[in-house]
Each structure stands twice: as C-alpha cells, then as structure tokens.
Amino acid sequence: MQLGLSVDDVLSTTRAVRKRMDFDRPIEPQVIKDCLELALQAPSGSNSQGWQWIVVTDPDKRMALADLYRQAWAIYVDLPFAIGNIYDGDDPEVKASYDRSASSAQYLADNMEKAPAMLIPVMPGRTPENPDWATASATVGSIVQASWSFMLAARERGLGTSWTTLHTMFEEQAAEILDIPHEEMIQIALIPIAYTKGTDFKKGNRNPLADSLHWDGWGGSAPN
Ligand SMILES: Cc1cc2nc3c(=O)[nH]c(=O)nc-3n(C[C@H](O)[C@H](O)[C@H](O)COP(=O)(O)O)c2cc1C
C-alpha cells in the first residue's frame, strides 16, 4: 500500500526513523524489492551499476550486526562530533532538537536487532587500481543516490529507515557475518527498516539555506 504523498512531501518528511519503528509488524519481502527496483533507476558513474544490496532478515545475523553497531556506538557517543555533543550554539530550540536526535539514536543502538529488516548497500572499489580521488566521488557517489531513493520509496510505502554508518568501524567483522568479500567490497551504510508507528512526519531541523549557498563562487550571494 502506498501513502500517496507528493514528491515534495516525501522529500521533506523522510526522517531518520528510530523510536517510531514498529518492531512487531513484519515486512513483506516484495515491498523491499519494489523499493530496490525504484532505487535502481538512480544514476551511477558510467551507468556502471556496481551496487550490491544485502537485505538482512535472519534474526541471528541481525543480532550479530546490532552487537557490532553497539560496540561502535559506545566509542562514538563520547566523541566531540557525536550527535549529542556536536551542537555548541545557545539556541534552546535547536539544542532540544539535537537532544531528541541523540535520545533517538541511543534508542536505535539499544534496539537495532528488533528492526525486521536491514539493508546494507555495498559497492566494489577497495582495489589498488581505484585512485583515492575516485573513492568518494565515483565509488560512494555511485550508490548513495540509489540508497536514498530506496529510503524515499520506503517512506511512500509506510516504512521508516535510518541511514547509519557506525558499524563500518567494524566493517570486516560485518563482512564475515554476511560473507561479503571484504577485500573488494565497501559497505556504505546499514539501514534498519520497519513499518512506522503512524505515517505523519514533519520537516526536520535544518540550518537556513543562506548558511550554505554560494552563487557564482565562494563569496557570492544569491540574487533576491
Ligand atoms: C553519513 C551519515 C551517517 C549517519 N550515521 C548514523 C548512525 O550511525 N546512527 C544513527 O542513528 N544515525 C546516523 N545518521 C542519521 C543522522 O543522524 C540523521 O540523518 C540526521 O540526524 C538528520 O535526521 P532527520 O533527517 O531525521 O532530521 C547518519 C546520517 C548520515 C548522512
């Protein structure tokens, strides 16, 4: 079933869903496949389509991945750029928003294995021939759009997702759990998937566009 949201609604309300995941509602494999079919319409460098998609529903594997994630979370949570520490401004509303996100992220760490499915987008590229300049722009850049398309398509179908990357601190161990050929394949993210409790989501907390917009060069302002 689709929610019938407008494109703009999907783009502005696809949140990192953590506390509102419905762990008890199973996900039909076909819905995940439908979202991935749409994801395949995303661009990739030279239309190379090197992307590989690992969907994990096996409870033991979900638990093993969640345990790795928790180990990484325990390291991350004290770092200065962790979501609970990064805001150093004095706007109480913004601070409260970061605090809510930190609490939500802690909840995900505590409960990740309960998500009925996880998606790990994987990209070939850990090779000596792949120059450094291409790793971020071409390798990662050839799978992120498709992965985000998956998350948008999931939102339209009542599913919540969250982009997470912390498990890559222990990427080799995750590769072992899932038999991924680690010497070549780069894990881009670990995306827990669950139906959401309710389907109404709001716009997120974002800085004004003017803070990041440059027009005709670094120092240029946009026309009014
Ligand atoms: C590169 C990247 C890495 C992220 N890693 C994690 C993560 O490991 N754990 C987590 O809970 N959220 C993670 N997030 C989600 C962000 O915290 C989230 O997108 C951000 O707080 C905005 O949330 P919102 O869209 O719901 O407003 C990550 C997002 C990105 C883009």
Residue with tokens 């590769």: 175
Which among 220, 196, 198 is positioned nearest to 210, based on CA atoms? Answer: 220
Mean pLDDT of 99-115: 96
* Confidence at residue 125, expressed as pLDDT on a 0 to 100 scale: 86
* Confidence at residue 126, expressed as pLDDT on a 0 to 100 scale: 81
The rounded Å distance from CA 216 to ligand 1 centre is: 30
* Confidence at residue 128, expressed as pLDDT on a 0 to 100 scale: 72
Q: CB 39: neighbour CB atoms within 10 A? A: 23
Pocket test for ligand 1, best of 165, 206, 207 (most atoms within 8 A of CB): 165
Q: What is the pTM of this model?
A: 0.96
Pocket test for ligand 1, best of 147, 151, 161, 164 (most atoms within 8 A of CB): 164
Mean pLDDT of 3-17: 98
List residues near ligand 1 (CB under 6 A).
15-16, 83, 101, 105, 108, 162-166, 204
Domain ranges of the chain: 7-204
Residue with tokens 């309960």: 114
Which among 124, 103, 122, 201 is positioned nearest to 161, based on CA atoms? Answer: 201
Q: Which residue has the least CA distance to atom 31 on ligand 1?
A: 163
pLDDT tens, residue by residue, 118-162: 999 999 988 777 766 777 788 899 999 999 999 999 999 999 999
Taking the CA of residue 204 as reference, the ligand 1 atom at the shortest distance is 27
The rounded Å distance from CA 132 to ligand 1 centre is: 25
* Confidence at residue 138, expressed as pLDDT on a 0 to 100 scale: 84
Note whether 52 and 123 are within 8 A (CB). yes
Q: Which residue has the least CA distance to atom 8 on ligand 1?
A: 164
* Confidence at residue 137, expressed as pLDDT on a 0 to 100 scale: 81
Q: Which residue has the least CA distance to atom 21 on ligand 1?
A: 101
* Confidence at residue 136, expressed as pLDDT on a 0 to 100 scale: 73
pLDDT tens, residue by residue, 80-95: 999 999 999 999 999 9
Amino acid identity of residue 142, one-letter, is: S
Superfamily of domain 7-204: NADH Oxidase (3.40.109.10)
Quick one: how many helices (H) and strands (E) in the chain?
A: 7, 6
pLDDT tens, residue by residue, 17-57: 999 999 999 999 999 999 999 999 999 999 999 999 999 99
| Mean pLDDT, all residues of the chain | 95
